[in-house]
Amino acid sequence: MNFRSLTRGDGVVIGAAVLLFIASFLSFYSYDCGQSSFCPAEPNGWKSGLFPVLPSIFLSGIIAAGFIVAARFQPAERKLAGMALDQWGTALAVFAAWSSLWTIMGGGSNVSAGIGQILGLIANLVLAVVAVLTPRTPALKAPLVAAAGPQAASPYGVGPNPGYGYPGPGAAGPYGAQPSYGGQPQQEQPQGFGGAAAPQAAAQPAAAPAGDFSPFWFAVPVPRPLFAEDGSPTPVAELAPGTWYLAVEQRGQALVAQTQDGRRGVLQDTSGIQRG
């Protein structure tokens, strides 16, 4: 389970689910008994006499959050009755918020909403809004736990900070090739008499043919979809910034990349990627 797949929106969804669970044990109704010596006990959401408050408000919201979070650890093409898990979660979240809104409008002259009902409404409204906006809002789609990005090389020879799968110095990658670091810096040419450059002691090695390809590590600047190798338009995964991925093949301008869990796909947009 890769927790780097979670987004900021997922973090808000998890927080709303925790608040819903706590609110279910608090008083759902509050009674104003006035001067009467007899006042009924304030029930919580688990009181059987309040059915269907528990399944329609509290449990549906918690299950919705579970579906949304579980979808981050499942392949994009996996469906449940024709819908993705996050779509089911969004639908349940909207239903729970709708139920909370209509329930709080009820009551009687001596009955008012309790703290559990109020917190349940707030949590369900937040859950529904975030579930709907997360796929469309870059700030909510950003990773919840940012991976350590590459750092500038130290003058003492310390390499970049490794992220997922990034091999250390001298370690071979899973495909038997070291990641490319670009061309080696050329040494300053010695100056001859009068400032003219002296001839080089040895010729520079010829550039590798364009057709040669060696696997290398890379990171994307923004979230980008990874499509199936068979050309299907449905993404099989989404590459997140700050995480290292392995490019195993080049197809024109596109790259065949491998994710942390071993899934492979085609990255069609390679603009701005950072090579390891």
Q: Helices in the chain by DSSP H: which ranges? A: 8-23, 53, 60-70, 85-104, 115-133, 138-141
Q: At 40, phi and psi to the nearest 5?
A: -65, 155
CA atoms within 13 A on the CB side of 126: 20
Query: Is 95 a residue whose pLDDT tops 90?
Result: yes
CATH topology for 212-275 is SH3 type barrels. (2.30.30)
pLDDT in tens, 38-72: 778 889 999 988 999 999 999 999 999 999 999 88
Structure confidence by residue, pLDDT tens digits, 157-200: 444 444 444 544 444 444 444 444 444 444 444 444 444 444 44
The neighbouring-strand residues paired with 275 are 218
Q: Cα angle vertex 276, ends 233, 206, to 5°?
A: 100
Question: Global pTM?
Answer: 0.54
CATH topology of domain 3-32+39-141: Butyryl-CoA Dehydrogenase, subunit A; domain 3 (1.20.140)
Q: 145-168: buried (b, 16+ CB within 10 Å) or exposed (e) per residue?
A: eebeebeeeeeeeeebebbbbbbe
Q: What pLDDT is stored for residue 107 in this prediction?
A: 62
Cα angle 260, 261, 263 (rounded to 5 degrees) comes to 100
CA distance 94 to 61: 9
Name the residue ranges covered by the structural domains of the chain.
Answer: 3-32+39-141, 212-275
| pLDDT for 146 | 62
Question: Is residue 250 helix, strand or coil?
Answer: strand
| pLDDT tens digits for range 200-256 | 434 444 444 445 788 999 999 888 999 988 888 888 888 988 888 999 999 888 999
